[in-house]
Amino acid sequence: MIEIQDFLRTLATNSGFWNPLIWGIIIFIALLIAYIIRGRGKKEYKKQTEQTKVFLSGNPELEKEEMHVKASNVYWGFMESFKWLYNGLEKMHTGNVSDYILWFVIILGIFFIILGVI
Amino acid sequence: MNIIDDIILHSPALIVAIPLLGAFLTPLVSKINDKLRNIFVIFIVLFTSAIVLLLANDIYLVCGKIHTYVFGGNAPITEGGFAIRILFEVDGLNIFMALIATILAIAGVIYSWAFMKENTGLDKYYTLYLLMIAGMYGMILTGDMFNFFVFLEITSIASCALIAFWTNKGKAIDAGFKYIVVSATGALFVLFAIAILYGQYNALNMAVLASKIQFSFLDKIALVILISGLAMKAGIVPMHMWLPDAYGRAPASVTLILVGVTQASLYGALRMIFTLYGGKLTTTMNQIGDVSIDLNLVLGIFIVGLALLTIFIGVLMALKENNFKRMIAFAAVAEIGYMILAIGAALTTVFSTNDAGTGMMALKGGVFHILNDALDVGLLFLVAGAIYYATKETSLNQLGGLARNMKYTTIFFLIGLLAVSGMPPMNGFASKLIIYESTYQVNPILSIIAILCSILLLAVFVKVFHSAFLGPKLPKFDNVKEVPKSMLLAMGIIATIIIFIGLFPDMVVNYIVQPAVNALTNNSNYISNVIGGI
Amino acid sequence: MLELEQIIRTVMIIILSTVALAFFGIFFGLIYKGIDRKISAHMQGRIGPPLRQPFRDVGKLFTKENIIPENAVPWVFNLAPLIGLVGTISILLYLPIGGFQPLASVEGEIIFGDLILILYLLMIPSLALVIGGFASGSPYATVGAQREMATMIAYEFPLAIIIITVAWKLGSFAAGGLGVENAFTLTAITANPIWNAVGPLGLIGLILLLIVLIVVTPAELSKIPFDAPEAETEIGGGLLVEYSGRNLAMFYLTDAVKTVVMASIIVALFFPYNLSPLFGLESYPAYIIDFTFFLIKILIIIIFSVTLIRVAVARLKIDQIVYTYWVPLTLIALVGLICIMWDGTMMESYGWPKIAELLGFI
């Protein structure tokens, strides 16, 4: 039967360990400390004033739709450095079902050569 | 003998038969009342789940126990090893997969209640849904090759129809068509391989085949075809392209079961490699100088190569994708890569004498990750469905600021995000930790790529978190409300299990994963148990 | 094995050491920040602020208003800084601080975490910054946050190579390694200094890895030249643009603690040596001298990897950052890895000696 001690055991991988419960205790205590430290700060601010408007270096705020950075613009820097890789990947994903089967046949062939010929 | 014992005795048959019967009763029940039909379907799934749990309890009580069930009464006629009867067998691995299927099925039907409410043709939907669940259980529990093919086809056809369920959107039909072409091709190749084996050994039973297999040239061909066919069904790069189409277009509740079906195909491949060919895997294929190239090494390296490709391409495509569900589908491809990475690494080492510990550990990580992936990816798909339900949008470019309107969904998404990218303390971290810390012994590059892609996965879903949930309050989503309770309940069930596994990983590994790994590596036990049981 | 008494004892130790290490991390993090500012000021020919300036900065931030912008999602916006600080403090428990064993273990016998865990926990402060930035709902913050995420992806590649290579060299038998059990735990890594395991080729590999790790550090801490996420001159503070008052102070503290954490990781991986065995000291004098030596090691590392680099070079563009980490630095790290791989082969096949044996350390 499952005993209470089974719940407490550390996951061992022969190379390392991981015990979520201990981490949980650490996090709880650290959260307490951080919360106390944070609580020493000033809480209030002037709601519904200029203060809470978004900072745009003095430019007027656009419509809400325009203020949200769209998903396709995120990670521009990453996409920019790996344009060459993505161009290749896009060519690979044609969306044509006969290509899907072609890839299957290619893998079948490669696998067959590896296993049959060697 | 009481009724519980009877149910356990017949449970392998019941687990498949109840959803199957339920499927054909559903149209009749829905003539009466829609609500009654929903209750009926949930009852069927819960009843099946109860039987799975009973069977699981029975299997886990005795270490290494294999439950065999022969259809058609008495022992099959064995004449020269020709086992006629269809046979189901349940060992640690089968029951492990069945538990995954159970969780997904329960969450799926509960989720469907509200999610599909506004659609017409729900009697057909639920019929196909139960058929799909029955097929999935069948694939997992069967011990017979041809039977495996039959269930593969049942799930394929049912899921094809369900992927194309939203026929008013043309793209759904396109996705359904692609799915049926791909899965029919895969299944036919599997059938071809089964025919090769049947022609040689006069048997369809996995255990009988495993005991007889010679590893002739024809067997090699059969192995190649079986693995490639099932790999395509499991969505391994570069045969993964049907997967984003199908996952992306199907209703979220269907996608959840599709994840299970994909895992069942992966299970099939595992079964073929480790049980069917398990005894012959260390056959020396070639001798170059002093170095002998063993089959397990060649197979392992090939699978590891595919796995690295799968992880990398899956995650890179996910990073670029802007359709929420297609993005999760690519992430699911990458997650499958982690499993086969562990399995490939295990294949290279688990049979050697001095390094078997590494292989066992890698296999443990891989099998554990099957469970975690099903839950994490499943939860994310349900969240994507919830967002679609609330806003009728799947493109991330159109979404924003939903964390204000949909608090619970946001929390479930955060749990899914942390779990799928393997952040502590979620379940994904435990299995990925095992994978990293065992595969590095085979080659450090493997764990390096695995760690890197895990962080890329984090980036993928942080992007979703930003573009769907954060940002300014958009006027067009002012009226968006939190999704109905049944959808929240389904997400909550999966999220609870994710956190439970995350907090007590060692217990799950010991009680559920370890028996599955033992069942995989010990194929002589399988053969003797099943053949002895006939 | 798991007696109730032992469980309670362990939990008490964990609780007390969390409290102690939290204050240790915050206090010394702020002091090192002061030293860093002083030195960089002198390098630029300025006098610079006094050492206690960071404490005053935090104190001042606490008296400022804590503005929550109208476009922000309040609960995420407020939670992110807290999670960042908490995650960073939790890393300290898994590190060998001041020559002691990692505190999250039972007398160094039962260990509760390892290097991979630390690698993941290191992501939490960055992730908190990213999510906080995204939650601000400001375009500047969003741009900064996505840059931070791209930077994170970029530097994790070389970082993963370093961590796996070190553990692999110690743990595997194949590469002429030591076959150390539990090679991912810091207890094992500090007990078997990596320099003892390598031959001439491996020494070159290790030096390459150390250089890469020193270059990874400023990006991990968002310092120039890798501070594109904050970039005051272009995007007005980037992901921190909408933060003020105590929330900003939390991020300030996180940064301070993280500096100590990163330096401690470098110390644990590459310089786990202590002075006390050299002088034959024991008990309290040993603790004091080891702890002081540890603080000095951290100071040297911070000066090299933060102060020097940040004063000497200008900021890179975000795509340049990604390129720098994924191509040149990853290649250098891979060369290091290959050197260490061949090192084992050389030792096995041609009988090359280990450096430590040549010098007579072992």
Q: What is the pLDDT of residue C256?
A: 92
- Measured in degrees and rounded to the nearest 5, phi and psi for residue C108 equal 70, 5
C326 neighbourhood in chain A, CB within 8 Å: 81-82
Q: What is the mean pLDDT of residues A65-85?
A: 80
Q: Min CA distance, C160 vs chain B (Å)?
A: 6
Per-residue pLDDT reduced to its tens digit, C67-81: 888 888 888 889 999
Q: What is the mean pLDDT of residues B385-403?
A: 88
Q: Please, are residues C68 and C78 in contact by the beta-carbon 8 Å criterion?
A: yes
Per-residue pLDDT reduced to its tens digit, A4-60: 777 778 888 878 888 888 899 999 999 999 999 888 888 887 887 777 777 777 777
Residues ≥6 apart with Cβ < 8 Å to C303 = C36, C39
Chain-chain contact of B459 with C119 (C-beta, under 8 angstroms): no
A54 neighbourhood in chain C, CB within 8 Å: 69-71, 137-139, 242
Q: How confident is the model at residue B74 (pLDDT cuts 50, 70, 90)?
A: low
> What's the mean per-residue pLDDT of chain B?
88
Chain-chain contact of A23 with C90 (C-beta, under 8 angstroms): yes
B440 neighbourhood in chain C, CB within 8 Å: 164, 167-168, 171-172
Q: Please, are residues B11 and B54 in contact by the beta-carbon 8 Å criterion?
A: yes
> What's the mean per-residue pLDDT of chain A?
83
Q: What is the pLDDT of residue C314?
A: 77
The per-residue DSSP string of chain A comes to: ---HHHHHPPEE-SS-EE-HHHHHHHHHHHHHHHHHHHHTS-----TTSGGGSPP-TTPPP--HHHHSPPGGGTTHHHHHHTHHHHHHHHHH----HHHHHHHHHHHHHHHHIIIII-
Q: What is the pLDDT of residue A60?
A: 77
Could you give the 3-state DSSP secondary structure of residue C166?
helix
Segment of A10-14, B365-369, B389-393, C200-204 carrying the highest mean pLDDT? B365-369
Q: What is the pLDDT of residue B352?
A: 74
Could you give the 3-state DSSP secondary structure of residue C106?
strand
Domain assignments of chain C as residue spans, ordered by start: 4-359
Mutate to test the interface with C, among B455, B464, B469, B477 (most CBs of C within 10 A): B455
Q: Where are the beta strands (DSSP E) in C225-346?
A: none
**Closest-approach residue (CA) in chain B for A18:** B430
- The one-character DSSP state at B395 is B
d(CA B181, CA A93): 17
Q: Is some CB atom of chain B closer than 8 A to the CB atom of C142? A: yes
Q: What is the pLDDT of residue B501?
A: 92
- The one-character DSSP state at C58 is H
CB pairs under 8 A between B and C: 90
**Chains touching C, CB cut-off 8 Å, 3+ pairs:** A, B
pTM value is 0.93
Q: Please, are residues B87 and B73 in contact by the beta-carbon 8 Å criterion?
A: no
Q: How confident is the model at residue B217 (pLDDT cuts 50, 70, 90)?
A: confident
**Closest-approach residue (CA) in chain A for B237:** A103
Q: Please, are residues B19 and B137 in contact by the beta-carbon 8 Å criterion?
A: yes
Q: What is the pLDDT of residue C231?
A: 64
Q: What is the pLDDT of residue C14?
A: 86
Q: Min CA distance, A19 vs chain C (Å)?
A: 5
The per-residue DSSP string of B278-327 comes to: GGGTT-EEEEETTEEEEHHHHHHHHHHHHHHHHHHHHHHHHHH--BHHHH
Per-residue pLDDT reduced to its tens digit, B272-315: 888 888 877 777 776 777 777 788 888 889 999 999 999 999 99
Closest CA to B381 of B251, B481, B501: B251
Q: Please, are residues A69 and C143 in contact by the beta-carbon 8 Å criterion?
A: yes
Chain-chain contact of B474 with A64 (C-beta, under 8 angstroms): yes
Residue B131, pLDDT > 90, answer yes
Chain-chain contact of A44 with C317 (C-beta, under 8 angstroms): no
Q: What is the pLDDT of residue B372?
A: 93
Q: What is the pLDDT of residue C246?
A: 87
Residue C358: Cβ-neighbour burial (10 angstroms; 0-12, 13-18, 19+)? exposed
d(CA B472, CA B201): 67
Q: Min CA distance, B466 vs chain C (Å)?
A: 6
Percent of chain B topping pLDDT 90: 46
Q: Please, are residues A67 and C139 in contact by the beta-carbon 8 Å criterion?
A: yes
Q: How confident is the model at residue B128 (pLDDT cuts 50, 70, 90)?
A: very high
Q: How confident is the model at residue A105 (pLDDT cuts 50, 70, 90)?
A: very high
Per-residue pLDDT reduced to its tens digit, B454-466: 999 999 999 889 8
Q: What is the mean pLDDT of residues B494-521?
A: 90
**Closest-approach residue (CA) in chain B for A94:** B241
Q: What is the pLDDT of residue B76?
A: 54
Q: What is the mean pLDDT of residues A89-97?
A: 85
Closest CA to C273 of C190, C342, C355, C340: C190
Chain-chain contact of A20 with B504 (C-beta, under 8 angstroms): yes
The ipTM of this complex is 0.90
Q: What is the pLDDT of residue C4?
A: 79
Residue A85, pLDDT > 80, answer yes
Q: Please, are residues B148 and B16 in contact by the beta-carbon 8 Å criterion?
A: no
**Closest-approach residue (CA) in chain B for C143:** B466
Chain-chain contact of B178 with A100 (C-beta, under 8 angstroms): yes
Q: What is the pLDDT of residue B45?
A: 94
Low-confidence stretches of chain C (pLDDT beneath 70): 1-2, 99, 104-109, 173-178, 228-237, 360-362
Q: How confident is the model at residue B474 (pLDDT cuts 50, 70, 90)?
A: confident
Q: How many residues does chain C have?
A: 362
**Chains touching B, CB cut-off 8 Å, 3+ pairs:** A, C
∠ CA B215-B218-B224, nearest 5°, is 85
Tokens 């994903």 sit at which residue?
A93
Q: What is the pLDDT of residue B19?
A: 93
Residue B384, pLDDT > 70, answer yes
